[in-house]
Structure 1
C-alpha cells in the first residue's frame, strides 16, 4: 500500500493526521494497530478451523476459489484431463512465439550488419563529401 506513496505524500498524510486528531493521534494509531492484529488473528483462526473441518492443511492463499478447487476437489487425473487438450495449444503457441522471436533476432542482426556496412563506407571517404556538400547547399 505504501509502495505507491513517496516521502512527501507520507509526510503530508502524517501532518494531516496530526492536525485532525491532535493529541489523540497516538491512541488512534494504537487502536488501528490493535484492530489490524485482531483481523489477522481472526483470519488465522478461520483458516485453522476450516483446515480442521476439511481434514487438510489450508493456507490463506488456498481460499481463492480456483486454487481451492484445484487443490482440494480435483484429483491428479481430473487435473491432467482438464490440462491435456490445452497442452497442445500451449505447445503450438510457444513454438510460434519462439519462431517469431528468432525471426526478429535475424532481422535485427541483418539491420545491424547493413548499418555497420554503411558507416564503414561513410568513414572511408567515398560518400562523406557528397553528404557534406548536400548539407552545405541546404544551409
Structure 2
C-alpha cells in the first residue's frame, strides 16, 4: 500500500496526522483498525456464505476474471498449449540475458587484469576500459 512512499514522506504524514488529530490520534488509529477488522470479517463471512450456497471451496483469487476463465472454460491441455509459446519465449530471453551477463563478466575481468598492472594502490583515478563500438542501426 505504501510502496511508493519513502521514509521521509511517511514521517511527514505521521507528523501531519499528529498535528491534525493531536491527543485523539490513538483513538482514531484504534477506530480505523476496528473498521479494518470488521471489513475483513464481513469479506470472510461473505466468502463462507458463498461457499455454502455453491457447495464448493471458492477462493477470492478464483473470482478474478482471468482465473475464472482459466479454471472453468479452458482445459489443462488448452492452458498448457497457451503457455508453451510464452515459455519458449521466456527461455530464449533468459538464455540471451545469461549470455550478456557472461560477456560483461569477461569484459570486467579483462579490465581488472588490465588496470591491475597500471594503477597504484593510492591512486584515486583508475582508467576505464576503452568504449566498444556498436552499430546504432542494430539496436
Q: TM-score surpassing 0.5? A: yes
Q: Which moved more, 1:45-54 or 1:93-102?
A: 45-54
The answer as to whether partners of 2:18 and 2:25 remain within 8 angstroms in 1 is no
Q: 1:103 & 1:73 partners in 2: Cα distance?
A: 45
- Stretches of 4+ aligned residues off by more than 6 angstroms: 22-25
The answer as to whether partners of 2:47 and 2:60 remain within 8 angstroms in 1 is yes
Unaligned runs of 5+ residues in structure 2 are 122-139
Point out the structure with the larger helix share: 1
Q: TM-score, normalising length from structure 2?
A: 0.63
Q: If you compute each CA radius of gyration, which structure gives the higher value, 1 or 2?
A: 1
Q: TM-score, normalising length from structure 1?
A: 0.63
Q: Deviations over 1:86-121 (max 9, x none)?
A: 2222211111111111111111111111111212xx
Q: Does 1:14 align with 2:4?
A: no
Q: Which residue of 2 aligns with 1:88?
A: 88
Unaligned runs of 5+ residues in structure 1 are 124-139
Q: Structure 1 residues 82 and 29 mapped into 2: Cα distance closer, same or farther (>3 Å)? A: same
Q: Which residue of 2 aligns with 1:41?
A: 41
Q: Structure 1 residues 94 and 71 mapped into 2: Cα distance closer, same or farther (>3 Å)? A: same
